């Protein structure tokens, strides 16, 4: 029995892969009919703006503090989001009935205040353009590992949590010697959660141990940048071709939002962003819900649930 506010879709196929492929158009159709597809697009746009302001702050050796709360514990309560950078004396508060609305309002208010004050203060003179120019969300995984190796930091713990809420559902934590090293920011898109965690963890470590640990990273990253995968087209059976063509490509083909890659260069349209935002959760949840469907011969069934 689904929980209150939980939505579930089912899809079937003769093989596990086919069942997962068929889940995408079923899910998209269900979300379109309920009006939730617009929310996914809005959430993707807001998530990218949120990452952009963290990247901007990282150029100055800083990161915004993020706080999420509810206005009360009653039905219909508003989401309340606080974004602040104490070093710049910047703080904004936004409240709305939907999380994506509160997030968008907080981001817009934050950007307006930063622009109005023309904030450009660095946390330290050691924060230079040559050291920080390549510290972005797409490169943060490599930057963090580069700094950790340089500083000989080995006691590292990583954890992903899926939040059962109607707001942001993905959280990623990085701990060093048992202490949280990254900004505690839940994300709408699963792939964005570790990216922002790597970015903010790198900044906090540099704040503590010195920004000179980034010396040489740009050259290291260029020399060790993984090659882009060659585009391929899978062979598709006639009875599954329609479902496969509905999606931009199969998850095995697309390396969406992998460390060190730019998602925008691969997903140039909004529908691509939809599948990028749902891919990971679909694959894992679908695998967990896999079973032989009764009265359907040897077909497989896929279940995917999310919170509305």
Question: Checking DSSP bridges between strand 300-307 and strand 6-13, what pairing results, if any?
Answer: antiparallel
Q: Hey, CA dihedral for 119, 123, 125, 130, is it positive or negative? A: negative
Which CATH class for the 63-121 domain?
A: alpha beta
- Per-domain residue ranges of the chain: 1-59+127-227+241-308, 63-121
pLDDT of residue 264: 40
> For residues 264 and 45, is the Cβ–Cβ distance under 8 A?
no
pLDDT of residue 152: 94
pLDDT of residue 220: 92
pTM tops 0.75, yes or no: no
pLDDT of residue 41: 67
Q: Residue 109, exposed/middle/buried by CB under 10 A (0-12, 13-18, 19+)?
A: middle
- Report which of 101, 256, 250 is spatially closest to residue 167, judged by C-alpha positions: 101
> For residues 265 and 147, is the Cβ–Cβ distance under 8 A?
no
Residues of the chain with pLDDT under 50: 1-4, 229-271, 280, 283-298
pLDDT of residue 243: 37
pLDDT of residue 177: 87
């Amino acid at each position: 029995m689904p929980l209150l506010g939980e939505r579930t879709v089912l899809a079937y196929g003769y093989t596990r892969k086919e069942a997962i492929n068929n889940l995408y158009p079923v899910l998209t159709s269900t979300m379109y009919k309920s009006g939730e597809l617009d929310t996914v697009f809005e959430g993707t746009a807001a998530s990218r703006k949120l990452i952009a302001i963290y990247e901007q702050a990282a150029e100055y050796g800083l990161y915004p503090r993020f706080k999420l709360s509810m206005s009360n514990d009653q039905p219909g309560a508003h989401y309340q989001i606080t974004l602040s950078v104490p070093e710049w004396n910047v703080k904004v508060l936004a409240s709305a009935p939907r999380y994506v609305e509160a997030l968008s309002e907080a981001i817009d208010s934050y950007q307006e205040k930063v622009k109005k004050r023309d904030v450009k203060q660095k946390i330290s003179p050691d924060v230079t353009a040559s050291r920080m120019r390549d510290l972005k969300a797409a490169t943060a995984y490599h930057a963090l590992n580069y700094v950790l190796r340089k500083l000989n930091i080995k006691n590292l713990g990583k954890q992903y949590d899926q939040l059962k809420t109607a707001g942001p559902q993905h959280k990623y934590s990085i701990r060093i010697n048992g202490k949280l090293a990254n900004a505690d920011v839940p994300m709408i898109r699963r792939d964005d959660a570790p990216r922002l965690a790597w970015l903010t963890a790198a900044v906090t470590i540099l704040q503590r141990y010195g920004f000179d640990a980034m010396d040489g990273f740009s050259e290291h990253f260029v020399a060790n940048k993984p090659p882009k995968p060659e585009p391929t087209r899978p062979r598709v059976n006639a009875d599954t071709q329609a479902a496969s063509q509905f999606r931009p490509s199969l998850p095995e083909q697309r390396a969406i939002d992998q460390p060190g890659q730019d998602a925008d260069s691969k997903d140039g349209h909004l529908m691509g962003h939809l599948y990028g935002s749902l891919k990971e959760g679909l694959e894992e949840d679908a695998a967990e819900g896999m079973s032989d469907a009764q009265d359907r011969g040897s077909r497989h069934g896929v279940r995917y649930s999310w919170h509305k």
